[in-house]
């Protein structure tokens, strides 16, 4: 198997009498910890390319993990800054279709060796309450924040097998590379293999894709919009959004134009499927030449200016009328005889 793996060397012994490694805190499930160099895998993609299983990660879960991490780092959480971020992944699983839709913070304590201790009663209570509110949802795994998988993550993964036979582990990088094109997320699942007559747990990256519902799209759009600040009008924000959209459209259009020119110059092979998709996009454009489109644009532009001008005149007339009414009332009061 050539899939990238992260070996944690978690060994299970039937006698439960392990030999402790000096570098590892004492734990009844841990005998040795070795983490070899991780095979290269872009965050947000993972391995498992030949699997028929489809795993979808929703934006709500990503935002929840980000808020949890931000709350701890800024001191807005009960945990001190620098504490381990730990939470539960929720979603639906139907056959080979897995959808991770939400993430919720999980409370934990630290033992004398500084290892996270999860209260099973609290987890079961949280699980029952969540599944009662969201019918059809189940606990799919857990999440944490870190640069790479640690031995502690392996122990927590073993703990979550009590609630799910094959829990997922979502690892979020706290300081992503600014030039990275992929999301700083890696989704793992654990596999058990026999090594020297002992069972060894290995983390294997899973491929996933981002998915969203209409309600999530509306919510994410509202959250991502820049709030109106002092000195910035809503019209300015609207123009900025339009400008950003047009720049993005222009860059993507330029990519298509460059590709078509490369085909015409015989620099790249012809992909008929891709050409049909480009033709389908072009056919959705308005069926009008440049002159007609320019005339329609100028007509709409002039109508908009005229409406704004009429609105300004109406507002000014209303202000003059109010001023005239107040002036007349003041003049009438001043003209009354005094006794």
Query: What are the tens digits of pLDDT across the range 122-135?
Result: 899 999 999 999 88
Confidence tier at 338 by pLDDT (50, 70, 90): low
Task: State the Cα–Cα distance between residues 174 and 69, nearest whole angstrom.
Answer: 8
Residue 210: both structure tokens together: 């981002």
Task: Record the pTM.
Answer: 0.55
CATH 3.40.140.10 domain extents, the chain: 42-185+203-215
| The pLDDT value given to residue 130 | 92
| The pLDDT value given to residue 310 | 92
Mean pLDDT for all residues in the chain: 78
Residue 57 has pLDDT above 50, yes or no: yes
Q: Residue 144 contacts by C-beta under 8 Å, 6 or more apart in sequence?
A: 84, 85, 86, 87, 153, 156, 169, 170, 171, 172
Q: What is the pLDDT of residues 137-153, one digit of tens each?
A: 999 999 999 888 888 88
Task: State the Cα–Cα distance between residues 288 and 290, nearest whole angstrom.
Answer: 7
Among the listed residues 44, 9, 45, the one whose alpha carbon sits nearest the alpha carbon of residue 27: 9
- The better pLDDT of the pair 287, 137 is held by 137
Q: Looking at residues 2-30, what average pLDDT do you find?
A: 36
Choose the weakest-confidence range: 97-101, 205-209, 235-239, 274-278: 235-239
The residue with tokens 């123009």 is 239
Cβ neighbours, 10 Å, residue 119: 13
Task: State the Cα–Cα distance between residues 257 and 271, nearest whole angstrom.
Answer: 15
CATH code for residues 42-185+203-215? 3.40.140.10
| The pLDDT value given to residue 88 | 93
| The pLDDT value given to residue 264 | 92
Confidence tier at 307 by pLDDT (50, 70, 90): very high
Task: State the Cα–Cα distance between residues 96 and 56, nearest whole angstrom.
Answer: 11
Angle at 221 between CA 215 and CA 224, to 5 degrees: 140
- The better pLDDT of the pair 252, 32 is held by 252
Q: Residue 171 contacts by C-beta under 8 Å, 6 or more apart in sequence?
A: 143, 144, 145, 146, 148, 149, 153, 185, 186, 187, 188
139, 163 Cβ separation under 8 angstroms: yes
137, 98 Cβ separation under 8 angstroms: no
Per DSSP, the three-state class of 272 is: helix
């Amino acid at each position: 198997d050539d899939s990238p793996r992260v070996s944690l060397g978690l060994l299970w012994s039937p006698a439960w009498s392990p030999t402790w490694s000096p570098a590892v805190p004492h734990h009844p499930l841990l005998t040795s910890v070795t983490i070899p160099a991780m095979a290269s895998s872009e965050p947000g993609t993972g391995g498992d390319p030949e699997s028929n299983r489809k795993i979808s990660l929703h934006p709500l879960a990503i935002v929840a993990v980000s808020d949890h991490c931000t709350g701890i780092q800024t001191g807005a959480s009960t945990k001190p800054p620098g504490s381990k971020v730990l939470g539960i992944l929720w979603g639906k699983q139907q056959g080979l279709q897995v959808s991770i839709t939400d993430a919720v913070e999980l409370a934990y304590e630290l033992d004398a060796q500084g290892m996270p201790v999860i209260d099973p009663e609290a987890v079961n209570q949280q699980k029952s309450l969540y599944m009662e509110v969201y019918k059809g949802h189940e606990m799919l795994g857990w999440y944490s924040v870190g640069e790479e998988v640690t031995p502690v993550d392996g122990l927590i993964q073993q703990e979550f097998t009590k609630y799910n036979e094959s829990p997922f582990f979502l690892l979020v990088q706290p300081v992503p590379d600014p030039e990275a094109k992929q999301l700083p997320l890696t989704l793992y699942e654990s596999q058990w293999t026999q090594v020297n007559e002992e069972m060894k747990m290995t983390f294997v990256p899973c491929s996933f894709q981002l998915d969203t519902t209409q309600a999530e799209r509306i919510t994410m759009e509202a959250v991502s919009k820049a709030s109106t600040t002092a000195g910035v009008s809503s019209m300015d924000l609207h123009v900025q959004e339009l400008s950003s959209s047009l720049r993005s459209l222009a860059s993507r259009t330029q990519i298509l134009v460059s590709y078509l020119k490369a085909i015409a110059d015989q620099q790249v092979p012809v992909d008929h499927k891709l050409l049909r998709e480009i033709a389908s996009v072009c056919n959705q454009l308005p069926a009008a030449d440049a002159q007609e489109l320019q005339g329609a644009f100028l007509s709409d532009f002039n109508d908009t200016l005229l409406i704004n001008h009429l609105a300004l005149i109406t507002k000014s007339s209303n202000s003059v009328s109010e001023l005239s009414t107040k002036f007349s009332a003041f003049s009438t009061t001043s003209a009354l005889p005094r006794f």
